[in-house]
């Protein structure tokens, strides 16, 4: 059985016991979370969330890309979120490669460079600060409520707020 087949079996079991059909489209907490896609980082578990409580936007590194800003603009302006939580983490895979090496590999194998950036970085509180600044500077986001950033430690499960 493939991993996808196993996940589909789990999805069928989830659907058999599904009781969330009445949830509104707007997240109950009015919070949007931007986090890394790392499988060890579980925003629902970390923050004790269930379906319908928050928007969770994930990508490699939890980077504030144009698509993250687009998603947050929709989340805020059309779906009522008023707070944003940014979560990066200490042992991020984005620090395991250099941009030029990865982009070169992609270009060699695909025949052209990727049309998107692959900014690797050393995960740090400074990167969280830079990401928060990018969000604050965006003219497309509604700047009300709170905007807070955190580092997650996958060894302890603890969050540390970045001032």
Q: Could you tell me the residue ranges of all domains in the chain?
A: 29-162
Average pLDDT, the chain: 92
- Average the pLDDT over each of 23-37, 39-53, 123-137 and give the range with the smallest value: 123-137
At residue 123, the pLDDT reads 60
In CATH terms, the superfamily for domain 29-162 is Carbonic anhydrase (3.40.1050.10)
Mean pLDDT of 144-158: 92
In the chain, what is the straight-line distance between the N-terminal and C-terminal CA atoms, in Å?
47
Higher pLDDT, 81 or 99: 81
Q: Is the model's pLDDT at 78 over the cut of 90?
A: yes
Helix, strand and coil in the chain, % to nearest 5: 40, 20, 45
| Sheet strands side by side (includes 54-59) | 54-59, 31-36, 83-89, 147-153, 158-162
Higher pLDDT, 103 or 10: 10
Structure tokens at 159: 């969050």
At residue 122, the pLDDT reads 64
Q: Is the model's pLDDT at 110 over the cut of 70?
A: yes
Q: Is the model's pLDDT at 92 over the cut of 90?
A: no
The percent of residues in the chain predicted with pLDDT above 70, rounded, is 97
The whole model's pTM is what? 0.90
Q: Is the model's pLDDT at 84 over the cut of 90?
A: yes
Phi, psi of 116 (to 5 degrees): -120, 160
3-state DSSP assignment of residue 49: coil
Higher pLDDT, 123 or 31: 31
- Average the pLDDT over each of 57-61, 66-70, 102-106 and give the range with the smallest value: 102-106
């Amino acid at each position: 059985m493939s991993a996808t087949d196993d996940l589909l079996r789990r999805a069928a079991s989830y659907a058999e016991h599904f009781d969330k059909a009445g949830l509104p489209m707007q997240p109950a907490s009015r919070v949007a979370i931007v986090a890394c896609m790392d499988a060890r980082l579980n925003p629902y578990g970390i923050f004790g969330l269930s379906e319908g409580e928050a928007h969770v936007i994930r990508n490699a590194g939890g980077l504030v890309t144009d698509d993250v800003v687009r998603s947050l603009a929709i989340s805020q302006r059309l779906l009522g979120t008023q707070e944003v939580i940014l979560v990066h983490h200490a042992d991020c895979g984005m620090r395991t490669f250099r941009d030029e090496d990865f982009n070169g590999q992609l270009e060699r194998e695909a025949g052209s460079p990727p049309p998107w950036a692959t900014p690797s970085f050393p995960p740090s509180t400074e990167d969280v600060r830079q990401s928060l600044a990018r969000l604050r500077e965006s003219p497309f986001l509604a700047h009300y409520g709170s905007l807070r950033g955190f580092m997650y430690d996958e060894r302890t499960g603890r969050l540390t707020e970045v001032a």
